[in-house]
Amino acid sequence: MIKQKKSGHIFRFLSEPEDLLNKKLEDHRTFSAIMFFMTALIGTSHWVWDYVTDPIGAQHTIGLRLLFLLLIVYSFAFMHVKNRRVLEIASVMAGLLLLVNYVEILNRLHTGMVYGIGGFVFFLFLPLLMFQGFSVRVNIMSTFLFAGLPQVLALMGIAHNFEHAQYAVLIWPAAIAMMLTHYAFVLNYRFRFDSEAALEFASNTDPLTGVSNRRHFIPMVRREIARSHRFQHPVSLIVLDIDNFKSINDIHGHSTGDAAICALANVCRKMARQIDFVARLGGDEFAILLLEIDSDDALAVANRIRSAIESTTINSPDCEDVRFTVSIGVAEQPLDNPSEEWLIELADAAMYRAKAAGRNRVECAPITYSVKSQPVAAD
Helix (H) or strand (E) holding 314: strand 313-315
Residue 320: per-residue pLDDT: 85
- Sequence-distant (6+) residues with CB within 8 A of 299 are 330, 362, 364
322 has which bridge partners?
Answer: 314
Inform me whether the pLDDT recorded for 6 exceeds 60. Answer: no
Beta strands in the chain (DSSP E): 212-213, 235-242, 277-282, 285-291, 313-315, 321-323, 326-332, 362-365
What does the alpha-carbon distance between residue 83 and residue 77 come to, in Å, rounded to a whole number?
12
pLDDT band at 262 (very low <50, low <70, confident <90, very high): very high
State residue 332's pLDDT score: 92
What does pTM read for this prediction?
A: 0.69
The one-letter code for the residue type at 338 is: P
Q: What are phi and psi of 313, to 5 degrees?
A: -125, 135
Q: In the chain, what percentage of residues exceed pLDDT 90?
A: 74
Between 21-25, 142-146, 161-165, 315-319, the lowest mean confidence (pLDDT) is in 315-319
pLDDT confidence of 4, banded at 50, 70, 90?
very low
pLDDT class of 367 with cuts at 50, 70, 90: low
Q: What is the pLDDT of residues 52-109, one digit of tens each?
A: 999 999 999 999 999 999 999 999 999 999 999 999 999 999 999 999 999 999 999 9
Tell me: pLDDT of 308 over 90: yes
Instruction: Inform me whether the pLDDT recorded for 284 exceeds 60.
Output: yes
Percent of the chain, pLDDT > 70?
92
**What is the set of domains in the chain, with CATH numbers?**
10-202 (no CATH), 212-365 (3.30.70.270)
pLDDT at 359: 93
The answer on pLDDT for 181 being more than 90 is: yes
Degrees (nearest 5) of the Cα angle 279, 197, 235?
A: 30
Average pLDDT of the chain is 89
CA distances from 153 to 57, 164, 170 (A): 21, 11, 17
176 vs 181: CA distance, rounded Å: 9
CB contact set of 96 (below 8 Å; sequence gap of 6+): 145, 146, 149
pLDDT score for 5: 44
DSSP H or E run through 279: strand 277-282
From CA 372, how far away is CA 352, in angstroms rounded? Answer: 12
Q: Which of 36-50, 223-237, 295-309 has the lowest mean pLDDT?
A: 223-237
For residues 116-134, b (16+ Cβ closer than 10 Å) or e, as one string?
A: bbebbebbbbbbbbbbbbb
